[in-house]
Structure 1
Amino acid sequence: MNFQATPSSSGIILSSVVLNSIKEDHANGGTEDFLSSVSSFNANGVHEECVHYTKAPKHRKVSAVIIGAGNRGKNYAGYALEFPDLFEIVAVAEPREQARKSIQVTHALLDENCFEGWEALVKKKKFADCALVCTKDQDHVGPSVALAKLGYHILLEKPMASTEEDCRLIYETCQETKVLLAVCHMLRYHPPVKKLKELIDSDIIGDVVNINQIEPIGFFHFAHSYVRGNWRNTESSTFSLLAKCCHDVDLIAFLMGSQKCVKVSSFGSLHHFRKENKPAGASSRCLECKVEALCPYSAKKVYLDPKPSKPRWPMNAVCDIEDPPEAYLTRLTESVRTGRYGKCVYGADNNVCDNQVVNFEFSDGATATLTMIAFSEHVCEKKAQIYGTRGQLMWDEAKGHVVEHYDFLTKTTKIHTCEMSPPGWDHAGADYYMMKAFVEAVATGNNSLIVTGPKVSLETHLLTFAAEHSRTSGKIVNTNKDPRWIVN
């Protein structure tokens, strides 16, 4: 199937005709790429590399239970809807009735396989191949340990857990039980990141001297998730670097390859969303506030303006219901009027950093920096710059699935267009590739497909904990000397 893609400054745009053709080709089965030979041009009309959109290979059907039916759980479960011959959901454990019922209806589950909590599910003998653990961060350890002891292979939402001790317990349990563990550091499976790693390993930019990684959370996203939302307080969740950027730390370690981190330092604070920054005349709730029009973080602007016609993020985190549009808007408005998502951002019980930088030093003297910032236009559109002795690489997620390579010798730039992602998947399609790898690994027993296994994931989680320890203690952490930061 050959066709021309529409030029776009942010990547390749496929027409609905092309997408339908892709789906038809996929439906016909087979193990070959079902999008091949795509000719694309960038905004300047420069021809770029061909890209391939790889379908899941044929293998036995894998069965799974979902622990936690929030946005992440629903997203991963979507793999069963897209590939029903390869993957199926057979049970759900979720305390919220509506979320539990939604999964039950979508995946046609028996009543006996729908549980109000994971504790009830693990009382039964193992009845599926694997489990998707997508509970809140602080609730990862209980189900993960119990399911591993029953022999379930585990896909675990990041972070592994909210404490060092719980992360180590999950790691040790999975090692002892010999089950597969894939932590949802989806970036390692993401085509642009795989291209970065491929180019680095080819020595095309020489020795890597520095990596600069930026995580722009987005001004309204931070207000939603880390001021009003589930990740706002270290007592009820965890610190923001772990909750938001453990996969960025993992990305840096992945790109550095065999070079191990030996030192970490970090600085950061809750700079803005504090009571002393509350504007004069501001109310405790946005819908009653006289100065709401001047506030970019207003709940009215985030959730109600323009009026949403159906549940979508972040509105579905405020009011996850299946009512018709009119009723949904009424329920959403009432939730904003009375619930925590309608509170003033300067009067919440949040205490996590809204800005943080982390510095890493590696065994060969190379360095890396990570910046986590709340105050950005772009929402979670990462930017990675890799500086080598013979060239540099740049990946800007806002520009789509492309990696830029500048060569010092020829003084030229080459654009590498990476494998495309199927539409509808979170994290620019990275979730699809992660699910594809995990399900195939469970089906075939080939654990090499999982590149975010227990040891490497624990190592990079410990680096994240080390960074936070540095921030709170004001000390440089020697990660290669203290057993606290070492995985045996």
Structure 2
Amino acid sequence: MDTDHTSPGSNQFVTLAVIGCGQRGKAYSKYALSSPHRCKVIAIAEPRPNTRKNFATLHKVDDTLVFSTWEDLLAASAETINTIGKRLADAVIIAVQDHQHAEVTAAFAQQGYHILCEKPMATSIHDCLQMENAIREAGVIFGMGHVMRYSPYSKEITQIVRSGTLGELINVVQVEPVGHYHFAHSYVRGNWSSQSHSSFALMTKCCHDIDLICNWFSPATPVKISSFGSLKHFRKSAKPYAAGDATRCLDCPVEKDCPYSAKRIYLDPLAQGNTGWPASTIVDGIPDLENVTEALKNGPYGLCVYESANDVCDNQVVNIQFSNGCTASFTMVAFTSAICDRQTRLHFSHGEIIGDMINYTVNDFRKRTSKVHHPTNEGGGHGGGDTGLIRSFVDAVGTKDQFLLGTDINDVLKSHLTVFAAEASRNQGKVIDCISFEDEARAAYTSSQA
């Protein structure tokens, strides 16, 4: 059971509809199982039949509220609103593919649902601005899947930043070590491998890193940004000569020596009893030897990483100057043994914080002290950030108080525009003025609506 203290007056029971019952939909909805006195999943929409059935069974969702598409759920909701004046649920968790976020968010916001949307906000500036308008017009609670804000680790560091005990925050250095096989799974073979089908890697993987950095420096805002990056390794020119004409790992003569072997990533852990990520994401339902092998023989997850149709950066750096003269640098790199355990250094006028998402050390120059802190991981992904976010969202919906999320649609849009500006810098080879970039983006959107 959830033992964390909730905010005063936040015990109103909240009903949830989950749209997209994959990895992220499952991660957020676990809170309804651990804290049934706080919330319950009462409706779902999911196109994959086995995934839909398993999710509905787990949450005991009535058959009449199980839908194969979000459009069907929306239509059923519209019918209940028209007939009895009531929505199917209080809030929706939107965990569909990134390019669908804007359309689904706008549709359910219009019906008055409070919304928790998985990151990123959307895959184009136009869609982000459309979402902003939809949320503002509806006046609903909006949560963004920037889970890193909500882990005990990040919350403790943020509290130190806000307290001023180490003086003014002057510089942040953050590294996102994606992980060699994680990158191969998600950004070479997977759903986020193609800019045209999803978006660029800095957006799909690192938008919450940029958001966290912006949050630490707030109320200062980004004014200038530059970025460099490339797809350096995961391309055909890097394919081992000994692999010959093989295009799939199961047929490759050098598969055993390849760190990106699909057999090594999916089948070997499965043989050890691991039916969770990543094998669970490549099949519909519970992974087993038969269906995972079939997926590797015929689907994208069995392709050689050097023969895949990926086009997103596997390494990228970003430099940001803020309105108060302070600076930050961020690095995203695929080639690491660490899997998403960010390495962070925060430099203050009177101290520093050095952390790895598990522990952090505070060096106080004035007191001449150094202390290691070990935040409690309460369970859930992203160091407890998944749990922290959904709990904060339920609190906010239960009290109708956006403040409990610690952010709002304006903050979310601002950090996303910063990511778009960084990618514009990488593509154009120049420093981008963030203020002008936002002004031009808003002008273009307004023009498109005329």
- State TM-score, norm by structure 2: 0.92
Instruction: Show the counterpart of 2:74.
Output: 122
Runs of 4+ in 1 over 4 A off after TM superposition: 53-58, 485-488
Contact 2:44–2:67, Cα closer than 8 Å, also in 1:
yes
1:422: how far off?
2.5
Contact 2:125 2:441 in 1 (8 A): no
Taking the aligned partners of 2:436 and 2:123, their CA distance within structure 1 comes to: 23
Aligned match of 2:212: 251
Supply the distance in 2 between the matched residues of 1:171 and 1:213 (Cα, whole angstroms).
28
Aligned residues of 1:459 and 1:486 also touching (Cα < 8 A): no
Match of 1:206 in 2: 167
Q: Are the aligned partners of 1:89 and 1:107 in contact in 2 as well (CA < 8 Å)?
A: yes
Of residues 349, 367, 378, the one that matches 1:422 is 378
Matched, 1:287 2:250: yes
Number of the residue aligned with 1:223: 184
Separation (CA, whole Å) in 1 of partners of 2:442 and 2:103: 23
Q: SS of the residue aligned with 1:140? A: helix
Equivalent residue number for residue 302 of structure 2: 342
1:380 equivalent in alignment to 2:340: yes
Partners of 2:140 and 2:304 in 1: how far apart?
45
CA distance in 2, matches of 1:345, 1:86: 44
Could you say which residue in structure 1 is the equivalent of 2:82? none
Distance (whole Å) between structure 1 residues aligned to residue 321 and residue 414 of structure 2: 15
> Quick one: which of 78, 89, 114 aligns to 2:41?
89
State the Cα distance separating 1:205 from its structure 2 match.
1.9
* Equivalent residue number for residue 49 of structure 1: none
Which residues in structure 2 correspond to 1:229-378 (within 5 Å)? 229-282=190-243, 283-306=246-269, 307-322=271-286, 328-378=288-338
Residues 1:459 and 1:485: Cα distance change in structure 2 (over 3 Å): farther
Structure 2 residue aligned with 1:144? 105
- Partner of 2:440 in structure 1? 484
Contact 1:261 1:361 in 2 (8 A): yes
TM-score normalised over the length of structure 1: 0.85
Identify the range of structure 1 (455-464 vs 331-340) with the bigger mean alpha-carbon deviation.
Answer: 331-340
Q: Residue 165 of structure 1: CA displacement?
A: 0.6
Instruction: Work out whether 1:439 is the aligned partner of 2:400.
Output: no
Which residue identity lines up with residue 312 of structure 1 in the other structure? Answer: G
Kindly state the Cα deviation for residue 308 of structure 1 after the two structures are TM-superposed.
4.2
Q: Which has the higher contact order (CA 8 A, sep 6+)?
A: 2
CA-CA distance at 1:431 after TM superposition: 0.9
Contact 1:67–1:131 (8 Å) recurs in 2: yes
Q: Cα deviations across residues 118-172 of structure 1 (Å, max 9, x unaligned)?
A: 1111113321100000001111111110000000000000001111110111111
Which whole-Å CA distance do the structure 1 matches of 2:415 and 2:441 have between them? 9
1:264-308 alpha-carbon deviations (Å, 9 max, x no partner): 000000000011111113111111111112211111111112424
Answer yes or no: is the 8 Å Cα contact 1:308–1:329 preserved in 2.
no
The structure carrying a bigger helix percent of its residues is 2
Q: Which residue of 63, 82, 85 corresponds with 2:15? A: 63
> What CA distance in whole angstroms lies between the structure 2 residues aligned with 1:462 and 1:380?
23
Q: Where in structure 2 are the equivalents of 1:40-189 lying within 5 Å?
A: 54=5, 59-123=11-75, 124-125=77-78, 126-189=87-150
Identity %: 40
- Matched letter for residue 313 of structure 1: W
* Alpha-carbon distance between aligned partners in 1 of 2:136 and 2:295, rounded to the nearest angstrom: 44
Partner-residue secondary structure (3-state), 2:242: coil
C-alpha separation in 2, matches of 1:364 and 1:258: 9
Give the aligned residue type for 2:331.
T
Unaligned 5+ segments in structure 2 are 79-86
CA distance in 1, matches of 2:100, 2:54: 21
* 1:405 aligns with one of 357, 362, 373: 362
Give me the whole-angstrom Cα distance separating, in 2, the residues matched to 1:374 and 1:116.
35
Paired residue secondary structure (1:122) = helix
Matches of 1:308 and 1:121 in 2, distance apart? 39
Letter in 2 for 1:239: F
Q: Secondary structure at the match of 2:436?
A: coil
> Which whole-Å CA distance do the structure 2 matches of 1:135 and 1:63 have between them?
19
For each residue in 1:236-276, what CA deviation from the matched residue of structure 2 results, as whole angstroms up to 9, or x when unmatched? 11100000000000010011121111000000000000111
The worse-fitting range, judged by mean Cα deviation, of 173-182 and 334-343 is 334-343
1:375 maps to amino acid: F
